[in-house]
Amino acid sequence: MQATDRANFTKLLTQVLAFYRQDVSTFAMSVWWSACSPFDFEQVSKAFTAHAVDAERGQFAPKPADIVRALAGTQTDRALVAWGKAFDAIRRVGGWDSVVFDDGLVHAVIEDLGGWSKFCAAATNDELPHLQRRFCESYRTYSRRQGVAYPSRLVGVHEAGNGLANHKVAPPVLIGNPEAAREVLRMGGAPKVQVTHSAAAMPHLLAALRNEPEGQPQ
């Protein structure tokens, strides 16, 4: 949550505790805010509702630990869903083409892991569990922050190589909900071109494949 959410959070918590015939002190409010502020207001509100209707825990007033535990589980679920999309894109698209996910946090995470082509190359059978763990840990960290910056698209080897050779670049592949992915593309920052060995060698490779002088326009 942001500072602007504090008034709504105070009102929400007051109503929740009133449901259990409890008041909230200034100190308790500060503890609650510290515990819940890393999460979205909507998520916090849903967690309070879920607690209230829980057949076992719902008969007792919630404690900050109860809500944080529920919200942490929600973030874990989101991280696993995001990983599923990323892994599916590795298999369907691979590191050759540029991609745009319908979740900007995925872009931020994969850039931290070295970029799209490196991320795909690292998804081997031996490294896959380690890659999944790093991805999910990073995703959960980003999901607790506000205003995370991310690139508009994840650049593949084809775009990196053709960009260096001043050739045309194919549009990125949209992953997930197309409308949401287009919004990520619109709202994201400048894409980062990871100049890996493969990307740097691409102009030479393209020229060799076409049997044409390097730098010649398509």
Reported as a single tens digit per residue, the pLDDT across 14-41 is 999 999 999 999 999 999 999 998 788 9
84 and 42 both lie in a single domain: no
Cβ burial, residue 50 (10 Å; 0-12/13-18/19+)? middle
3-state secondary structure of 38: coil
pLDDT score at 161: 78
pLDDT score at 215: 43
130 and 152 both lie in a single domain: yes
> How far is the first Cα of the chain from the last one, in angstroms, to the nearest whole number?
49
Residues in a beta bridge with 154: 99
pLDDT score at 23: 92
127 and 188 both lie in a single domain: yes
Give the tokens for residue 208: 């060799």
110 and 183 both lie in a single domain: yes
Q: Is residue 91 part of a domain?
A: yes
- With residue 101 as reference, give the H or E element that holds it: strand 99-101
Q: Is residue 69 part of a domain?
A: no
88 and 31 both lie in a single domain: no
117 and 187 both lie in a single domain: yes
Write out the residue range of the structural domain in which residue 23 sits. 3-62
pLDDT score at 109: 97
Domain closes at, from 21, 36, 62: 62
Q: Is residue 107 part of a domain?
A: yes
Amino acid at 12: L
pLDDT higher than threshold 90 for residue 133: yes
Q: Is residue 67 part of a domain?
A: no
pLDDT score at 165: 56
Dihedral sign of CA atoms 75, 81, 86, 87 in order? positive
Number of domains the chain is built from: 2
Q: How far apart are CA 143 and CA 139, in angstroms?
A: 6
Q: How many CA atoms lie within 13 A of 62 on its CB side?
A: 31
Residue 76 pLDDT level (bands cut at 50, 70, 90): confident
Domain closes at, from 17, 36, 62: 62
pLDDT score at 126: 85
CA distances from 193 to 135, 153, 161 (A): 20, 10, 9
170 and 90 both lie in a single domain: yes
Q: Is residue 201 part of a domain?
A: yes
Helical residues (DSSP H) of 113-156, grouped into ranges: 116-121, 128-143
pLDDT score at 198: 43
Q: Is residue 109 part of a domain?
A: yes
51 and 84 both lie in a single domain: no
Rg over alpha carbons for the chain, rounded to the nearest Å, is: 23
pLDDT score at 218: 41
- Count of residues for the chain? 218
50 and 78 both lie in a single domain: no
Q: At which residue do the structure tokens 């100190």 appear?
A: 27
Q: How far apart are CA 16 and CA 59, in angstroms?
A: 12
53 and 133 both lie in a single domain: no
36 and 97 both lie in a single domain: no
Give the tokens for residue 76: 């874990």
Domain closes at, from 62, 86, 111: 62
pLDDT score at 193: 64
Q: Is residue 165 part of a domain?
A: yes
- On whether the CB atoms of residues 50 and 70 are closer than 8 A, the answer is yes
Q: How far apart are CA 127 and CA 123, in angstroms?
A: 6
49 and 98 both lie in a single domain: no
Q: How far apart are CA 129 and CA 162, in angstroms?
A: 32
Q: Is residue 14 part of a domain?
A: yes
pLDDT score at 166: 67
DSSP type of residue 175: E
pLDDT digits (tens, 9 = 90+) for 37-73: 878 898 899 999 999 999 988 999 999 999 988 887 7
pLDDT digits (tens, 9 = 90+) for 149-207: 999 999 999 888 775 556 677 899 999 999 999 999 999 998 876 544 444 444 443 44
